Structure 1
Amino acid sequence: MKLALIYPLAALAEIGGCFAFWAWLKLDRSPVWLIPGVISLIAFAWLLTLVPAETAGRAFAAYGGVYIVASLAWMALVEKTTPDRWDLVGGAVCLIGAGVILLGPRA
């Protein structure tokens, strides 16, 4: 699976799984929300194992930038809250950092 697909799918799975717990605890939704939440978090963990990196730490660090940008997209699309310019600048900086970590030349 291509990296450009793995990280966004992992982010969607993680955010969706965490949101299920958020909905249960903060929005008084049914505990049934936890079932798809747990399944989603398992999918997230599995997807990260598909990242072609020699160390887990590097794969996870690079994923962090993608997660931040995906979280801002979730905020805009699901929670209907528009990211401000600082959210967007911060997300761009994180995404650039993720690229440097994952794609930088190694000795």
Structure 2
Amino acid sequence: MRTALIYIGAAITEIGGCFAVWGWLRLGRPAWWLLPGLLSLTAFASLLTLADSDAAGRAYAAYGGIYIAASLAWLWTIEGARPDNWDITGAGVCLIGAALILWGPRG
């Protein structure tokens, strides 16, 4: 449960940070948007170090599935574009993959 909360927090901070840069470069937002974006991306990287994993690469790989699902939630809630069936199916496949990486039996 702790790792899931860390990944959710990481997803929110990563997407928020990246969206700040997107807003500046693509939506014409002011350059000061970069400051909270950079702080958010720093929080993202810090949060991932707290994930329960024996290797950074495994933590990042499992996080990828959470990131994809969170990105679609962002698409819907922040950008107002509803994900379609292919988006939802793809996110489900990614979450299954993340679960296998996180909780798969290791000898």
Using structure 1 for the length normalisation, give the TM-score.
0.98
Determine the C-alpha separation between the residues in 2 that align with 1:35 and 1:27. Answer: 16
Residue matched to 2:20 = 20
Q: What secondary structure does 2:28 align onto?
A: coil
Matching of residues 54-73 of structure 1 within 5 Å = 54-73=54-73
Determine the C-alpha separation between the residues in 2 that align with 1:53 and 1:68. Answer: 20
Determine the C-alpha separation between the residues in 1 that align with 2:52 and 2:72. Answer: 25
Q: Does the alignment pair 1:40 with 2:2?
A: no
* Count of equivalent residues: 107
Determine the C-alpha separation between the residues in 2 that align with 1:46 and 1:86. Answer: 32
Deviation at 1:2, TM superposition (A): 1.1
Q: What secondary structure does 1:80 align onto?
A: coil
Using structure 2 for the length normalisation, give the TM-score.
0.98
Deviation at 1:4, TM superposition (A): 1.9
Give 5+ residue unaligned stretches, structure 1: none
Give 5+ residue unaligned stretches, structure 2: none
Q: Does the alignment pair 1:5 with 2:1?
A: no
Determine the C-alpha separation between the residues in 2 that align with 1:70 and 1:32. Answer: 25
Deviations 1:60-86 (A, max 9, x none): 000000000000000000000000000
Q: What secondary structure does 2:44 align onto?
A: helix
